[in-house]
Amino acid sequence: MPPVTERIRQSLVSLHMARALETLDQTLSRLEKGEISAIEAIDELLAEELILREGRRIGVGLRTARLTPIKTLESFDFSFQPSLDRHRIMALAQLEFIKRAEVLHFLGPPGTGKSHLATALGVAAVRAGRSVYRNTLAELIEALSKAEREGRLVEKIRFYARASLLIVDEIGYLPITSGGANLFFQLVNARYEKGAMILTSNRGFAEWGEIFGDPVVATALLDRLLHHAVVVQIEGASYRLRHHADLIPEHTRAHANITPPPPPKRRGRPPKIGGANQFSG
């Protein structure tokens, strides 16, 4: 083996360029046969390495974000949910709402694709190099409650506030204690106008007082979550139960309209809370 080839090989080892090292012999063979130029050979080696590293980065990002199993917009059946504007959803995939630190709400009955769309946008964000974290509301409040008991609440809120996009799934599926509602408010307040969120819920905003066990807390939450918001309402039947629609009682089939209230009028920034259980705004 020529000394220069061995030096290249050793350099690739030192630089931890495993994929480039793996394809080196094949690339050099093509170069010797005149199939590619020297510049093209370098380009191929670097491209192979970048593809490998990008794949690893995305894989780690998806696992860290808790976005597995992976969902994509390409795999979403828009024909089953005609109430959805496909062009509007694809526009959201450009991720401008993340740059603007907006809150995206997916509202609709169970099984209509809210979590799929939220996850798919999270996957798109990871691929674009954004930091993402996903939790159900119940998991999020459980983690915050544990951190509070252990004296790590500030640290935990900072952790959730760091992500460019925080996805909170399944709002309204389980009741929340007043203490849990308070913790969620503190997190929302920490991210307000600083980081984007995606929320999914099977309940209308008018029911949030019931969900969080306190109308005052619910109002304070909505005050912030609807200030810079995009609301996507999904109407229709459950995609998961599409093959068993005849088994579902008529009165429970999901066709109810979940109408969001108009965004609240705001004047300046929200007032600060005066204590752990004091909310205003």
Per DSSP bridges, beta strands 165-171 and 196-201 are: parallel
Tokens 């930091």 -> residue: 131
Q: Which residues contact 31 (CB under 8 A, 6 or more apart)?
A: 37, 38, 41
Nearest to 231 by CA among 256, 200, 206, 192: 200
Mean pLDDT of the chain: 86
Nearest to 276 by CA among 158, 189, 166, 176: 189
pLDDT of residue 275: 41
Where does the pLDDT of residue 253 fall: very low under 50, low under 70, confident under 90, or very high at 90 and above?
A: very low
pLDDT of residue 235: 85
pLDDT of residue 237: 65
pLDDT of residue 3: 84
Q: Which residues contact 234 (CB under 8 A, 6 or more apart)?
A: 81, 83, 84, 106, 107, 108, 109, 112, 113, 114
Entry pTM: 0.78
Reported in sequence order, the residue ranges of 18-176 that DSSP labels E, i.e. its strands, are 103-107, 132-136, 165-171
What DSSP string describes 32-74? HTTSS-HHHHHHHHHHHHHHHHHHHHHHHHHHHHT--S---ST
Delineate the domains of the chain, giving CATH numbers in brackets.
3-64 (no CATH), 69-252 (3.40.50.300)
Phi then psi for 229, rounded to 5 degrees? -130, 150
Where does the pLDDT of residue 142 fall: very low under 50, low under 70, confident under 90, or very high at 90 and above?
A: very high
Q: Name the residue with higher pLDDT: 278 or 212.
A: 212
Where does the pLDDT of residue 238 fall: very low under 50, low under 70, confident under 90, or very high at 90 and above?
A: low
Q: Residue 247 CB: number of other CB atoms within 10 A?
A: 7
What does the pLDDT look like over 147-170, one tens digit per residue? Answer: 999 999 999 999 999 999 999 999
- Contact call for residues 178 and 150 (beta carbons, < 8 A): no
- Contact call for residues 90 and 78 (beta carbons, < 8 A): no
What does the pLDDT look like over 176-195, one tens digit per residue? Answer: 887 999 999 999 999 999 99
Q: Please state the rounded mean pLDDT for residues 224-234.
A: 96
Vertex 23, ends 19 and 28: CA angle to 5°? 145
Q: Please state the rounded mean pLDDT for residues 105-125.
A: 95
Where does the pLDDT of residue 126 fall: very low under 50, low under 70, confident under 90, or very high at 90 and above?
A: very high
Rounded CA Rg of the chain: 24
Tokens of 169: 């799934």
Cα distance between residue 31 and residue 136, in whole Å? 53
pLDDT of residue 216: 93
Cα distance between residue 161 and residue 93, in whole Å? 21
